[in-house]
Chains A and B, each alone.
Chain A
Amino acid sequence: MKSLRTGYITGAALGVLWSFTMAVTVAVAMSFATGDGFRPGTLGIVLSGLLCGALSARVGRWVAPVAGVVIYAVLTAVGLPPVVAEGGMLHVVLSAVIGGAVVGLGMWAISGDLPPGALTRHEFEASIIRFLTGFGYVFFTAIVVIPFYVMVMTSLKSQQALLQNPLDFSLDLSRGWDLLRSYRELLTDYNFGQYLWTSFFISVLTVLITLAFSIPGAYAVARLRFRGRAAMSRSVLLIYMVPMIVLALPIYIGFSMAGLRNTVFGIIVIYPVTTIPVALYMLQGYFRGLPAEVEEAGLMDGLSRLAVIWKITLPLSLPALASVSLYVFMIAWNEFLLAFMLLDDPSKFTLTRGIASLNSSEIPRQHLMAGAVIATVPIMGLFLGLERFMTRGLTAGSVKG
């Protein structure tokens, strides 16, 4: 085992693995970009990886980028391409050049200062970690980006084009505004403008009601001494663990009897209750971290408790309020189960309920995907704009899913 731990062998082995990763990546990316056939070629991958890895260990890492491109080009020319391309000379050249470049650049980073001879344990493990890091970035980016890419691109295609070649996501720009046809149809024929508004309205109201309930409650649990305080802060977490589906059934029955089913009012009544425990839990943690002295000073100066909360605690906890609001907004916006069970009337649908109604064989796929994009874009926009608050909200909001 120890004798295998030399620069040549490690470099070559990592080279093969890396070449494989990159060849698959390039093939998938090129397929998605052009719709034509690309696939990794086994022999080419093994040869290119061995050569590129061993060379950069022998000669030095600076040779790797050049070596990658040259080796890919030569292998493609002699008929052993690491990325097999169909559909024209341009594709063959492109895949060889791009593949070679990314393999070479990656090898440059992975080799580090790998000496050709025997490796210390340190050097050996460091090179493996460098490979895993590179692989990790490619892997995670791919699994996150591909579904969202497919979602957006499918919404811009037509049903025929999709069935003809499911891989072809290239846009026919000559269609102009017609590309957005499924969005236009959703907004005009399927009432999605209304659903957007309903969802927005419900989510904002949910945030406001949740804050109104949870701020006083969180303050009481965090600051005031009373019997049962420990039990209270613990049961908040416990309520958090009751599954929605267990509650949904009695709520469905109760709402059916009270005539609240199929009303937006019913949804506004029920959503905040599902979010109050989370908000309370997040806020009490934050309130505890605030210095009590400031509040005591306020009390000494003659403010009442409520005035202290209003004039001192709340202004100090604005960042936490922003996090909580965002998190609650996200929960309300994404909520599906209750909306699905309680709303049947298409004029009162929320966005998620509206998308669920698009999932039928009579409605083309691109409409479904356009609906998904419409629901995703606002929450993503909010998320990207306020990422810092959101991240904090998610970590504080414990581990609810």
Chain B
Amino acid sequence: MSTAPSVPPRPPRGRGPLARREARLAWQLLAPTLAAVSLVVILPLLAIFWISFKPVTLADLRPPAPVVRESLRGSGEDMRVEYSLRNSSQDQTVSGVVLTDTLPDVLSFRGSPEAPCQADGKVLTCNFGDIEGGFRTRVAVPVTGQGDDDALEAAAEGSEPTVTGTAPNVLTNLTFTWQNFARIFDGSEFWNVLGVTLFYTFFGTAGALVVGLFAALLLDRSFKGQGILRGLYLFPYVAPVIAVAFTWVTLFDPFSGSANALLIQMGVSQSAINFFGERPLALVMVTLFEIWRYFPLSFLFILARMQSIDTDMYEAADMDGASPFQKFRFLSLPQLLGILSVLFLLRFIWTFNKFDDIFLLTGGNAGTRVLTVNVYEQAFDLANIGAGAAVAVVIFLCLTLFSIFFFRVMSREEGL
């Protein structure tokens, strides 16, 4: 008799019911967030690509529609309900326009109404077919009524007529155009804007980093009041951007600004300087504002990293007779390089995205128009939503590039 060779037990393979349950729970917990984010991030992103290929202006957001107004005119034998109907658009046709209205109980039709209207019991139906842009007409329907005129008028105007019609909606139809992109890339303006953006982004980021490093070096020691100073140096970042931006505008105002008064009085300048209104200066000023507002963030991160550096290293360096500058150059800086590069990349992306600061300081005038402000200007000031969307698409593509680069570096640093 031979027994079957015994099979050693194997570990279970694949996903067991417990693992499946855990995964299901995870997706359930994530579901609300995913839904919200896709609704407000993914959907708009797709929409912006769609819109960037469409000839949409601000006025198109309200699609053309027939508009009707009803009023009761005359009295006795002459009494009639008048409908005035018009196309809300000046140039687009609305097709299949039908007006329906139900007369109130106190009114009834007198004879049959004129074309294109028909009466059926108390219900009035008027079929206007297609109406062209700028079309307007007036239809009078003779009626009789019981009671005093004011009550009749209130009753007639109390029943709202309904009017239907379909108009081509430029947002949802299938006409596409390259015009928006052609328009924004046309001429030197776009490259100018891109240049300004890169200047602002690069120097704003690098400046905030350097100033933040300086501040972190100052505060990387314990003394009385260190906490107070740290809190104080965070003020520019914590305060609402609108408050500090307007404060800068007030401070540097050419007529009533204290900065100008101070400079003139100290003999630095002969006449008032229009800090936010002159061509190269305005760009420097908004970059300085960016540095001023965001150095606290860099300094906070750098300080946190500094305080986690092992002090043994510095003691060893002291024993070897390293001078203070050498210690900074050969010990601190290499230790901080990781956080500095991650900070630089992240801040670079975020400065590139910044809209509020420049919009509030100069409104994009005087050579400070960056890409994000250009989106707003094209879409709202020039009322060309399509062109605004095209600029937004360009921004998004630039960012995708930056992000790919960022994640490469990030996975190498693994710092943050």
Contacts and interface: CB of A to CB of B under 8 A. Distances in A.
Interface of A: 27-28, 31-32, 37-40, 121-122, 125-126, 129, 133, 136-137, 140-141, 143-148, 150-151, 154, 162-163, 165-167, 169, 212-214, 216-217, 219-221, 224-227, 229, 232, 234, 238-239, 241-247, 249-251, 253-254, 256-257, 270, 272-274, 276-277, 280, 305, 330, 333-334, 336-337, 351-352, 355-356, 359, 365, 368-369, 371-373, 375-376, 379-380, 383-384, 387, 390-391, 394-395, 398-401
Given A150-B247, A167-B258, A242 B45 contact: yes
B284 to A, nearest CB: 15
B128 to A, nearest CB: 25
Contact of B350 (A163, A373, A399): A399
B26 A273 contact: no
Contact of B231 (A372, A384, A401): A384
Interface residues of B, number: 99
Given A144-B236, A245-B375, A368-B246, A250 B47 contact: yes
Interface string B200-236: 0000000000000011011000000001011111111
Given A167-B261, A399-B343, A401-B294, A337 B355 contact: yes
Nearest to A129: B324
B356 interface: yes
Contact of A241 (B234, B353, B389): B353
B163 interface: no
B234 A249 contact: no
Interface in B391-411: 392, 395-396, 399, 402-403, 406-407
Contacts of B256: 162-163, 166, 365
Contacts of A390: 234, 238
Contact of B36 (A38, A40, A213, A398): A213
A251 B44 contact: yes
A247 B40 contact: yes
B27 interface: yes
B41 A122 contact: no
A352 B239 CA distance: 11
Residue among B37, B232, B247, B389 with max Cβ neighbours from chain A (10 Å): B247
A368 B48 CA distance: 35
Nearest to A330: B238
Contacts of A213: 32-33, 36
A380 B355 contact: no
Interface of B: 19, 22-23, 25-27, 29-30, 32-33, 36-37, 39-41, 43-45, 47-48, 51, 61-62, 171, 214-215, 217-218, 227, 229-244, 246-248, 250-251, 253, 255-258, 260-262, 265-267, 292, 294, 297, 300-301, 304, 321, 323-325, 343, 346-347, 349-356, 360, 372, 375-376, 379, 385, 388-389, 392, 395-396, 399, 402-403, 406-407, 416
A81 to B, nearest CB: 14
Given A379-B239, A395-B300, A399-B346, A250 B48 contact: yes
Given A225-B19, A336-B360, A375-B240, 11 more contacts: A129-B324, A143-B292, A147-B251, A166-B256, A167-B261, A232-B30, A246-B392, A277-B37, A369-B250, A372-B244, A394-B300
A40 B265 CA distance: 10
A27 B266 contact: yes
A380 B350 contact: no
Given A163-B255, A241-B403, A242-B41, A250 B51 contact: yes
Contact of B247 (A250, A334, A369): A369
Contact of A249 (B51, B353, B416): B51
A336 B33 CA distance: 24
A contact patch SS: helix
A368 B250 CA distance: 9
A249 B48 contact: yes
Contacts of B48: 246-247, 249-250
A221 B247 contact: no
A377 to B, nearest CB: 10
B242 A253 contact: no
Contacts of B45: 242, 246-247, 250
Contact of B240 (A368, A379, A398): A379
B383 to A, nearest CB: 13
Residue among B47, B238, B352 with max Cβ neighbours from chain A (10 Å): B238
A355 B243 contact: yes
> What 5 A-B pairs come out closest when comparing CB atoms?
A243-B353, A372-B243, A250-B44, A226-B23, A216-B29
A40 B268 CA distance: 11
Residue among B217, B262, B392 with max Cβ neighbours from chain A (10 Å): B262
Contacts of B354: 401
Contact of A254 (B32, B44, B267): B44
Given A163-B255, A225-B22, A245 B238 contact: no
Given A246-B395, A333-B240, A220 B44 contact: no
Contacts of A163: 255-256
B300 A356 contact: no
B215 A216 contact: no
B246 to A, nearest CB: 6
Contact of A280 (B33, B39, B379): B33
Contacts of A125: 323-325
Given A163-B256, A330-B238, A245 B355 contact: yes
B376 to A, nearest CB: 7
B241 A336 contact: yes
A31 B346 contact: no
A217 B33 contact: yes
28 contacts: A121-B323, A125-B324, A136-B218, A137-B229, A144-B236, A147-B236, A151-B244, A166-B260, A220-B26, A238-B403, A241-B349, A246-B396, A247-B40, A249-B48, A250-B43, A251-B40, A253-B171, A272-B36, A273-B40, A276-B36, A276-B37, A277-B37, A334-B242, A352-B240, A355-B246, A375-B243, A391-B300, A394-B300
A147 B25 contact: no
B294 to A, nearest CB: 6
Contacts of A333: 240
Contacts of B250: 150-151, 154, 365, 368-369
Contacts of B248: 147
